[in-house]
Structure 1
Amino acid sequence: MNPPAERLIHTAAGPARITTPAPRATWWDLAARDPDTAVTQIPTWLDCLCETGPYRDASRLYTFPDGSRIVLPLAGRGRRPRYLDAEESWPAGWGVGGPLASGEVTPEQARALFDDLAHRPALRVGVRFRPQGAGLWQRAAPGTFRLEPHMTQAVDLDGGFGALWQQRFHTRVRRDVKRAEKACLDVEVDRTGRLVPVFQELYDRSIERWAAQQHEPLALARWRRRREFPTGRLAAVAARFGGSCAVWVARHAGEPAASIVVLRHGPHAKFWRAAMNRDVAHPVRATPLLYRLAIEEACEQGCQIFDLGESAPGSSLEHFKAGFGAVGRSSPRYWRERLPVSSAERGLRTVVKRAIRFRDA
């Protein structure tokens, strides 16, 4: 890894010093100070990204005259010329990134960050902001950055699991969980990576199901899904997160039915991935049971938020998560490109979808 480089820029908030990559000690310090730090904003997440994909650490530390500091987690594409680089927080499929701060960010500081990113030589720069404080960044974003709306759903764990179960879990969810309990499922949770192969097997089955639902050739579905979530990625995450990565597995009559992966940092728990053998899992409602158990454990561990990840408004996935008391919150992405590469990519995907009569799930 190259040593950090520093430079001075002049901003409306005064002269600011930029250090890149951001020193890890400072990044971890801000992650501990910022109460809204998400699992996907810590250095471990970037390490997992770099280990399992063609990425490099491009994080940036902004230090202002009053001593306040902002760290922007950022990943660049490895081994690309600067004019073809993409610097993002984060790349597609890696969730919420965005800045961490030692205190309240001022409008001048927010504009300084955007001004710096606007002058980066990379072909594309994008930042996906967390819901907390998103309004500040929206007001600071210049016209050169485009808004891409996103929504995340999260369960507020205030009041404990008893209150969630009685007051906020939907009747259909409680009914499904009780049905699963009567089915006498065997549930196991592992924090060593031992159950990663079980999850991977179920994920491969899920790809087959998704391909059939979407009228997508299986070979194309496998290529696309494994490009997004390659074999070995979960093992890398489990190894780096250690006890903070829980792999839950439910079995029926000895056969793996469903599995979910939950990560944790401080008071934040995050559902990350799910997979199932629908023929086994659906009749006994294995997946709702795993969600219920994971949320209950997060409450017992003192977590304040259970992040269920991104959903499309009005989708069946949004409806499913809302059954556990999850509330949708805006998590916008702002990005800019020097050439319209993304538009060309979207156009190509549209042509392919039409050719194979793809059905969005």
Structure 2
Amino acid sequence: MTLQAYRVSIEAAGIDARPAWADLVEQDQSIALSKTPQWADCICSSDHFSDATLLFRGEDGRRLILPRLRNPSVPGIFASPPRHWNLGADASGFLSEGGPASPRETSALVQEIRRHPGLRTRVVVGEDDAQVWASVVPSTVYSTARTAQVLDLRGSFSTVWSKRFTGKVRSNSRKAERRGVVVESDSTGRLIPVFDVLYRRSVDRWAQDRGYPLTLMRWLAQRQHPQKKFETVARRLGECCTVWIAWRQGEPVAGIINLTRGPRVTYWRGAMDKELSRGTGANELLHRCAIEAACAGERQSYDFGLSQTAHLKRFKGTFGAGEVPVQIYYFERFPTVATEAKCYAAAKQSIQAAMRIAHTGRLARVPGDTDLMMTGLEPR
């Protein structure tokens, strides 16, 4: 027997949906940060977006929310959330009154998005939402799969330390303390400038590691993650945004920014000075201190977020973080995202190939120095 479809209708959008949205969030502290008006305000204050959240009303009177933002520079483009504002497994999806939306309700809401996508609507879903969405979203909708890593904090910190951290994390944490690494935390925004210095150094390192032009990487980082963005999030979230900095001999060597709401702590951004932090165990000690504080605050999970490289994925796994599926859906009036993704990948490969050729050419001009050509080291 086929169940009758659940009926929903759009009741309000944008600022008109805000009172109902705020009311639902206030009622339930377990709601993920990415589904709150506070996070939308962080994005709108830092980037060129405006609130386009949708309030739905179900046939049974239930209120359902899709947090959504509009890009005013390109009419008809919506995102939940925009790129560069993902929060790992703490993804978006629907916020529903009285508990998670059922597959039947989610199916009806997805159909509404498909009927009203604008030119394009991007929706990121994680954890349990990802499984429900996968069962109801048509296969014709373009999507990409990602993976977040989440550490279970239930039990005391001693349980996390002894049973979930690997021996490598415990050893490196102790080594960092022996080598004079000191960790400082702050929730007033005072340490944002220190973190930003480390972040810009990391950008330079990423350019070298990934084979991208330094000028291009610096421009992209400044455009996507300026210091103003970190400052805005720290100011708007207050005590829910904590900056952790590892110091050694008076110099900052590594830093992270963590965001907290209800039972979740999310590792949002990280940076380090690779030369100063090399062999110190500073990164392990940073996360150990942050995780210990989360346990003391009776949080239930520590979300390490999405990983851009296999190396980062392995590093997060040493803390005992398990993998959580994250899916990114694109609802389009005209199907162009798949083609754009292929063009983007081809452009990246072309840039990297050009950089390798240029790098080899510079080395080839060093007469008789074949070792430099083989190792990729340039003469000073």
Structure 2 Cα separation of the partners of residues 115 and 331 of structure 1: 20
- The residue that corresponds to 2:47 in the other structure is 53
Structure 2 Cα separation of the partners of residues 297 and 231 of structure 1: 25
TM-superposed CA distance for 1:91, in Å, is 1.4
- Out of 320, 323, 338, which is 1:325 matched to? 320
- The residue that corresponds to 2:35 in the other structure is 41
The answer to whether the Cα contact below 8 Å between 1:39 and 1:269 also exists between their aligned partners in 2 is: no
The answer to whether the Cα contact below 8 Å between 2:30 and 2:262 also exists between their aligned partners in 1 is: no
TM-superposed CA distance for 1:12, in Å, is 2.5
Task: Please give the root-mean-square deviation of Cα atoms over the aligned residues, in Å.
Answer: 2.0
Structure 1 Cα separation of the partners of residues 330 and 341 of structure 2: 15
Structure 2 Cα separation of the partners of residues 150 and 173 of structure 1: 25
One-letter code aligned to 2:347: V
The answer to whether the Cα contact below 8 Å between 1:72 and 1:99 also exists between their aligned partners in 2 is: yes
The answer to whether the Cα contact below 8 Å between 1:39 and 1:270 also exists between their aligned partners in 2 is: no
TM-superposed CA distance for 1:355, in Å, is 2.8
The answer to whether the Cα contact below 8 Å between 1:57 and 1:74 also exists between their aligned partners in 2 is: yes
Structure 1 Cα separation of the partners of residues 282 and 133 of structure 2: 40
Structure 1 Cα separation of the partners of residues 138 and 337 of structure 2: 19
The answer to whether the Cα contact below 8 Å between 1:98 and 1:128 also exists between their aligned partners in 2 is: yes
Q: Which runs of 5+ in 2 are unaligned?
A: 356-380
Structure 1 Cα separation of the partners of residues 153 and 25 of structure 2: 21
- Out of 13, 19, 23, which is 2:6 matched to? 13
Q: Which structure's CA Rg is the greater one? A: 2
What is the SS of the residue equivalent to 1:162? helix
Deviations 1:283-312 (A, max 9, x none): 211111110000110010111111110126
- Out of 340, 343, 353, which is 1:345 matched to? 340
Structure 2 Cα separation of the partners of residues 162 and 42 of structure 1: 32
Distance 1:332 1:354, change over 3 A: closer
The answer to whether the Cα contact below 8 Å between 1:34 and 1:100 also exists between their aligned partners in 2 is: no
Structure 1 Cα separation of the partners of residues 301 and 253 of structure 2: 27
TM-superposed CA distance for 1:343, in Å, is 3.6
The answer to whether the Cα contact below 8 Å between 1:75 and 1:91 also exists between their aligned partners in 2 is: yes
Structure 1 Cα separation of the partners of residues 208 and 253 of structure 2: 19
What is the SS of the residue equivalent to 1:216? coil
One-letter code aligned to 2:226: P
The answer to whether the Cα contact below 8 Å between 1:189 and 1:246 also exists between their aligned partners in 2 is: yes
One-letter code aligned to 1:92: R
Distance 1:79 1:210, change over 3 A: closer
TM-superposed CA distance for 1:229, in Å, is 1.2
Distance 1:137 1:280, change over 3 A: same
What is the SS of the residue equivalent to 1:207? helix
- The residue that corresponds to 1:142 in the other structure is 138
Deviates more, 1:18-27 or 1:328-337: 18-27
- Out of 102, 105, 108, which is 1:109 matched to? 105
TM-superposed CA distance for 1:79, in Å, is 4.1
Structure 2 Cα separation of the partners of residues 315 and 60 of structure 1: 37
What is the SS of the residue equivalent to 1:339? coil
- The residue that corresponds to 2:349 in the other structure is 354
One-letter code aligned to 1:49: I
- The residue that corresponds to 2:304 in the other structure is 308
| Map 1:60-139 → 2, pairs under 5 A | 60-81=54-75, 85-95=76-86, 96-102=91-97, 103-139=99-135
Per the normalisation by structure 2, the TM-score is: 0.85
- The residue that corresponds to 1:5 in the other structure is none
The answer to whether the Cα contact below 8 Å between 2:50 and 2:71 also exists between their aligned partners in 1 is: yes
TM-superposed CA distance for 1:134, in Å, is 2.2
- Out of 153, 158, 168, which is 2:154 matched to? 158
Deviations 1:29-68 (A, max 9, x none): 3335557522222111111111111111111111213232
- Out of 335, 338, 351, which is 2:330 matched to? 335
Structure 2 Cα separation of the partners of residues 148 and 348 of structure 1: 15
TM-superposed CA distance for 1:275, in Å, is 0.7
Per the normalisation by structure 1, the TM-score is: 0.90
Structure 1 Cα separation of the partners of residues 344 and 140 of structure 2: 25
What is the SS of the residue equivalent to 1:186? strand
- The residue that corresponds to 2:179 in the other structure is 183
Structure 2 Cα separation of the partners of residues 157 and 242 of structure 1: 23
Structure 2 Cα separation of the partners of residues 15 and 216 of structure 1: 47
- Out of 271, 276, 281, which is 1:280 matched to? 276
Distance 1:144 1:350, change over 3 A: closer
Structure 2 Cα separation of the partners of residues 105 and 343 of structure 1: 29
Structure 1 Cα separation of the partners of residues 95 and 343 of structure 2: 36
One-letter code aligned to 1:14: R
Structure 1 Cα separation of the partners of residues 196 and 117 of structure 2: 38
**Are 1:208 and 2:208 an aligned pair?**
no
Deviates more, 1:282-291 or 1:235-244: 282-291
